[in-house]
Amino acid sequence: MIDRRRVVGAAGLAALGTTLGAATGGRAWAAEGPARWPRMRQAMAVDAMTGVDLFYVPEDDPAAPKLLQHLRECGLTGAVMTAAPQGRFWLNDKAYEDTRARIDEWKGRIDKHPDVLLLVRERADLERANREGKVGVIFTFQGTEPLGEDLDRITSFREQGVRMIQLTHNRRNLVGDGALEAGDAGLSNYGRQVVERLNAERIVVDLSHGSPRTIREGILASKAPVLVGHSGCRALADASRLTSDESLKLLADRGGVVGIIFWPYLRVQGQQTSADVIRHLEHAVKVCGEDHVGIGTDLGISPIELTPEFAKDSLDTVKDMISQGIFAKDRSPEMTLFPPDLNVPNRFETLAAKLSARGWPDARIEKILGANFARVMGEVWG
């Protein structure tokens, strides 16, 4: 939800009291904070849906230094980032042209900050980001609208640096049905051709936001493991954006990985917290096994300053989402899209410390933080 996230992800740009310690490589670590996890510096941490907030402000914006600081603090190795607008019917060349222009712009921003950022094109780039303490940016789309009806655009986008493509957003498109489509028509014939071409071009297929049938058919259509990069367990909260145990098991059986989202979908009512994230992680591990679960926050990297202005914007945003059917009609709008107790730049480390306190072994935590995603990416990219 990149456009929505700008309301809650860039409305407040100040950190909530995290103090920078000494830098390790290009990455600075919080000297004090909600929690510490000793293995964070070695972990391959990949957020399968996030936003580099720096890309949404001008280079000379007064907030830019703070946003760079958050990148150094976050501890991420890989940040999967949407380079194409979603949630719209883009059935002309504008989607293609605008997406290519945005990718070029963002690649320019990456080049301006080589001490903090790098573009990920292959598994070796993730390893380099981890080794050098940088955030590796992985370009994706949330919806195949920029492709139009031209499969050759997949090749064009790959040459430009795109390494993951999500088939649908909430609506129906030419490829298949999104999560909010009641018809649940699954993949179209064209959608199957898209999956086949994505496999051929070694681009990761993401089935997030798919309808149940789209997710199931997408898993079966792909010759390579796929991701449901930001979702959750529908067995715990019956929301259309979450994934059934049946599909989770099928995903795992074919080598894929599901990422647990941080959004309010994690519970039926009330404010989600880290406890809900952990509840979904533990259920997913029970269904899929620890080799097939990760994290896709669907949040910007920078934390939110909880100002009165933010509170008003957040309330209006959530009310609008409820009216669209994104959240249930009876859902209270009195909530934030992020778990308040994970509203820190180093939220992966904070979560890891909580998992460790629950008795999770370090090896399992490292898999969930990103090693599982890195495995699939490396297998697909070659």
Q: What is the pLDDT of residues 327-381, one digit of tens each?
A: 999 999 999 999 999 999 999 999 999 999 999 999 999 999 999 999 999 999 9
Average pLDDT over residues 10-30: 31
pLDDT for the residue numbered 87 = 62
Indicate which CATH number applies to the domain containing 217: 3.20.20.140
What span, in angstroms and rounded, lies between the C-alpha atoms of 15 and 300?
A: 12
Type of residue numbered 244: S
Q: Are 232 and 261 in contact (CB under 8 A)?
A: yes
Structure tokens at 283: 């259920």
Domain limits at 336?
2-381
Average pLDDT over residues 235-246: 97
In terms of residues, how long is the chain? 382
pLDDT over 70 for what percent of the chain? 89
Q: Is pLDDT above 70 for 27?
A: no
Per-residue pLDDT tens over the stretch 137-161: 999 999 999 999 999 999 999 999 9
pLDDT for the residue numbered 21 = 26
Q: Are 228 and 166 in contact (CB under 8 A)?
A: no
Where does 152-237 show beta strands of DSSP type E? 164-166, 204-206, 227-231
Residue 106 to residues 49, 62, 84, 190, 329: CA-CA distances in angstroms?
Answer: 16, 19, 12, 30, 37
Number of domains in the chain: 1
Closest CA to 340 of 350, 330, 331, 332: 350
Phi, psi of 32, rounded to the nearest 5 degrees: -135, 150
Average pLDDT over residues 4-12: 35
Better-predicted residue by pLDDT, 188 or 92: 188
Where does 53-152 show beta strands of DSSP type E? 78-82, 117-119, 135-140
- Computed over every residue of the chain, the mean pLDDT equals 90
DSSP letter at 225 equals -
Q: Is pLDDT above 70 for 32?
A: no
Per-residue pLDDT tens over the stretch 163-184: 999 999 999 999 999 999 999 9
What span, in angstroms and rounded, lies between the C-alpha atoms of 126 and 124?
A: 5
Q: pTM of this prediction?
A: 0.92
**Cα-based angle 160, 196, 136 (whole degrees, multiple of 5):** 35
pLDDT for the residue numbered 245 = 98
Q: Are 172 and 196 in contact (CB under 8 A)?
A: no
pLDDT for the residue numbered 186 = 96
pLDDT for the residue numbered 2 = 39
DSSP letter at 367 equals I
Q: Is pLDDT above 60 for 13?
A: no
